[in-house]
Structure 1
Amino acid sequence: MMELGIGMFGDLQIDPQTGKIQAPQERIQEIIEEIKLMDEVGVDFFGMGEHHRADYAVASPEIILAAAATVTNRIKLGSAVSVLSSADPVKLYQDFATVDLLSNGRAEIMAGRGSFIESFPLFGFDLKDYSGLFEEKLDLLLRLNKMDTINWTGKYRPSLINQSVYPRPVNNSMPIWIAVGGTTESVIRAGKLGLPVMFAIIGGSPINFKPLFEIYQQAYLDNGHDPEKFQVGVHMHSFFGADSKEVADWYYPYYSNQMNRIGASRGWPPYQKSQYDYGRSRHGHLIVGDVNESVDKILQMQETFGLTRFSAHMDVGSPDHSKMMKAIEIYGNEIIPKVKAAK
């Protein structure tokens, strides 16, 4: 049965008139309340992003997840993503093993190369090594997950010689997912390694990703991995309300303002209402609407891609906390049961 969860980046609200940014302390406390509610209403997993910018509250997903572990009972807790290229895999693994112990075995790591690049200069890495760093550090992370004592040599980190790494997670290993944007190289690598993949579908038409899903599955099977353990998910910008038009109209300013803030640094043209409307259509990448619309579109994604996991990215532009709480209730109490009952 498909798992349904929520992802967040920890966006801070920015006043469109004054430019004043919400206090990170306030947003972090809201996030913990939101995760607690997710656990109560039956959301299967939560993913927290990593950013090193003034407009995001969370630089260390594992600290938020550790706090969430103490106020939840069943929800899986993972990163979305940990920027592995600029992290130390040993420290990352130790931190998540600690979250796993706190949560009685509910921790996951989702590793990514990072679409934002602020962490590279911050931690002393060169962007020209973008791909090499990820490949090498992923190799070390996977070895840490398989063995207690490590012998390892790489280019970007000192060697490990008969080195034991503690603490160990509850079951001596944790789920490790790979997050990908849209590169063939990334999906083939994940398939060869037999790792579950989360595709970020955050623009355009989802059907354009179908070839990448097929390439990933073929690489997975060609390398002898168990078809019964095949896992694949999508991460899509989402928001839910009781009335479709009402929630869409209310959410548009938050969403468009954030798209324009990110776009300004990447050379994107101003975000248009027509893009939003297309995104919300059957063919687009947004799941913003009422219960029935959302259920239909999630099921459409499941059928198109053979999903085992769906992640609703719900805090783009930092909607009001009260509306977030209501949207989480709708998702957990109404949308998730209907999606699961349909299959």
Structure 2
Amino acid sequence: MELGINTFGDSIFDPQTGRTIGHGERLRNLVEEIEMADKVGLDIFTVGEHHRKDYAVTSPDVVLAAGAAKTENIRLSSGVTVLSSDDPVRVYERFATLDGISNGRAEIMAGRGSFIESFPLFGYDLNDYNQLFDEKLDLLLKLQQGGRITWEGEMRAPLKDVEIFPEPVQDGIPIWIASGGTPQSAARAAQLGLPLVLAIIGGSPYQFQRVVDFYRQMGAQAGHPPEQLRVATNSHGFVWDTDEEAKDMFFPAISQAMTNIGRERGWGAYSRENYERMIEPDGALYIGSPETVAAKIIELRKRMGITRFTLQTPVGTMPHEQVLRTIELFGTKVAPIVRDAVKDME
């Protein structure tokens, strides 16, 4: 059972301090957060890619490389790389570079992206949304195999007997498929035998049980062994000393962020009532004391059999010291409880 942190590098108005953090400051803070996650023994740190003002990270691999130079053990992954609007060759080159700097700790989480700003920015047609991802994933997986490759598709220039450098330290950088929970994404990952990451940010995580079961069933039918069909989940959360403190401290930031996004997508304002409902045992938020958050992750493991969980924190902007503290608590308090429980299950 792997445990880690996910972040988008949020850079919006902070309700606690009354200021909007600049992109440069947020990026420097991110490197310190990666250092803290490594220091307290977490397994993975993932950084998302966006191309908009409210998130500071457009190039996860650059941020992760800065963190790699200051860490020793933690694995470093995008969360996600918007593969549809990028070039697979450049993606693999960049993450192979990260793999060298980190001495074999790089991963790629490939997704289609829930935001679409990168498509017009890099000259892609949204009408090609699905074809772009399928074709580019096919090329990325061939690059993962190493050696000289020949490849041809419709959405980019063909490759003829080429080799990609630098060579990664790992024998093929691990690639995960990121999904919002659609059967199509689960089927794609299953047929390819790739591990699946589910972003669960609303409702109940157990609404995704059917997707997980479908993924494992499809993967087995495709001939992949069960141990290859790993499932991870990512959810919003915050850890503090007590449940009430955690709830009260996290709400202003997540409310600000989700209301801003909701305004773009036609959702209503993010209410305290909905927030409280999702903090309940079957809800999608992992907020509270170390014991409360650990118990919720353990139950998720029991019921869905996940092998990796990442806590997305902060959602919105919070004081840097609070973010470092929640990472510290997640690594020193939550993780040992979860790991001990998983050992007992086995």
TM-score category of the 2 structures, normalised to the smaller one: over 0.9
Identity %, equivalent residues: 47
Q: Which secondary structure does the structure 2 equivalent of 1:52 belong to?
A: coil
Q: Which residue of 1 aligns with 2:247?
A: 248
**Does structure 1 retain, via aligned residues, the 8 Å contact 2:14–2:316?**
no
Using the TM superposition, give the Cα deviation of residue 16 of structure 1 relative to its aligned residue in structure 2, in angstroms.
Answer: 5.5
Using the TM superposition, give the Cα deviation of residue 17 of structure 1 relative to its aligned residue in structure 2, in angstroms.
Answer: 11
Pairing 1:301–2:292 present: no
| CA pair 15-45 structure 1, distance change in 2 beyond 3 A | closer
Using the TM superposition, give the Cα deviation of residue 228 of structure 1 relative to its aligned residue in structure 2, in angstroms.
Answer: 2.6
Using the TM superposition, give the Cα deviation of residue 206 of structure 1 relative to its aligned residue in structure 2, in angstroms.
Answer: 1.3
Separation in 2, partners of 1:207, 1:328: 25
**Does structure 1 retain, via aligned residues, the 8 Å contact 2:194–2:228?**
no
| CA-atom RMSD in angstroms | 1.3
Pairing 1:173–2:172 present: yes
Q: Which residue of 1 aligns with 2:224?
A: 225
Separation in 2, partners of 1:122, 1:13: 22
Separation in 2, partners of 1:155, 1:272: 46
**Does structure 2 retain, via aligned residues, the 8 Å contact 1:10–1:56?**
yes
1:138-217 equivalences in 2 (<5 Å): 138-217=137-216
Using the TM superposition, give the Cα deviation of residue 22 of structure 1 relative to its aligned residue in structure 2, in angstroms.
Answer: 1.6
Separation in 2, partners of 1:150, 1:64: 29
**Does structure 2 retain, via aligned residues, the 8 Å contact 1:181–1:199?**
yes
Separation in 1, partners of 2:18, 2:161: 52
Pairing 1:94–2:93 present: yes
Using the TM superposition, give the Cα deviation of residue 14 of structure 1 relative to its aligned residue in structure 2, in angstroms.
Answer: 1.1
Separation in 2, partners of 1:134, 1:258: 28
The one-letter code of the counterpart of 1:290 is S
Q: Which moved more, 1:224-233 or 1:306-315?
A: 224-233
Q: Which secondary structure does the structure 1 equivalent of 2:124 belong to?
A: coil
The one-letter code of the counterpart of 2:129 is Y
Deviation per CA, 1:264-302, whole angstroms, max 9, x where unpaired?
A: 110001111111001100111000100111011001111
Deviation per CA, 1:42-72, whole angstroms, max 9, x where unpaired?
A: 0100000000001111000000011111000
**Does structure 2 retain, via aligned residues, the 8 Å contact 1:298–1:339?**
yes
Structure 1's consecutive aligned runs of 4 or more residues displaced over 2 angstroms after TM superposition are: 15-21
The one-letter code of the counterpart of 1:185 is Q
Using the TM superposition, give the Cα deviation of residue 230 of structure 1 relative to its aligned residue in structure 2, in angstroms.
Answer: 2.6
Note the residue ranges of structure 1 that are not aligned, 5 or more in a row: none
**Does structure 2 retain, via aligned residues, the 8 Å contact 1:13–1:319?**
no
The one-letter code of the counterpart of 1:138 is L
**Does structure 1 retain, via aligned residues, the 8 Å contact 2:97–2:166?**
yes
| Residues paired across the two proteins, number | 342
**Does structure 1 retain, via aligned residues, the 8 Å contact 2:2–2:308?**
yes
Using the TM superposition, give the Cα deviation of residue 15 of structure 1 relative to its aligned residue in structure 2, in angstroms.
Answer: 4.7
Note the residue ranges of structure 2 that are not aligned, 5 or more in a row: none
**Does structure 2 retain, via aligned residues, the 8 Å contact 1:198–1:234?**
yes
Using the TM superposition, give the Cα deviation of residue 181 of structure 1 relative to its aligned residue in structure 2, in angstroms.
Answer: 0.2
| CA pair 336-50 structure 1, distance change in 2 beyond 3 A | same
Q: Which moved more, 1:313-322 or 1:55-64?
A: 313-322
Q: Which secondary structure does the structure 1 equivalent of 2:136 belong to?
A: helix
Q: Which moved more, 1:8-17 or 1:183-192?
A: 8-17
The one-letter code of the counterpart of 1:27 is R
| CA pair 73-149 structure 1, distance change in 2 beyond 3 A | same
**Does structure 2 retain, via aligned residues, the 8 Å contact 1:47–1:78?**
yes
Q: Which secondary structure does the structure 2 equivalent of 1:342 belong to?
A: helix
Q: Which secondary structure does the structure 2 equivalent of 1:11 belong to?
A: coil
Q: Which residue of 2 aligns with 1:33?
A: 32
Q: Which residue of 2 aligns with 1:68?
A: 67
**Does structure 2 retain, via aligned residues, the 8 Å contact 1:150–1:163?**
yes
TM-score, scaled to structure 2 = 0.97
Using the TM superposition, give the Cα deviation of residue 337 of structure 1 relative to its aligned residue in structure 2, in angstroms.
Answer: 0.5
Q: Which residue of 2 aligns with 1:291?
A: 290
Q: Which residue of 1 aligns with 2:340?
A: 341
Q: Which residue of 2 aligns with 1:79?
A: 78
Using the TM superposition, give the Cα deviation of residue 229 of structure 1 relative to its aligned residue in structure 2, in angstroms.
Answer: 2.6
Separation in 2, partners of 1:18, 1:6: 23
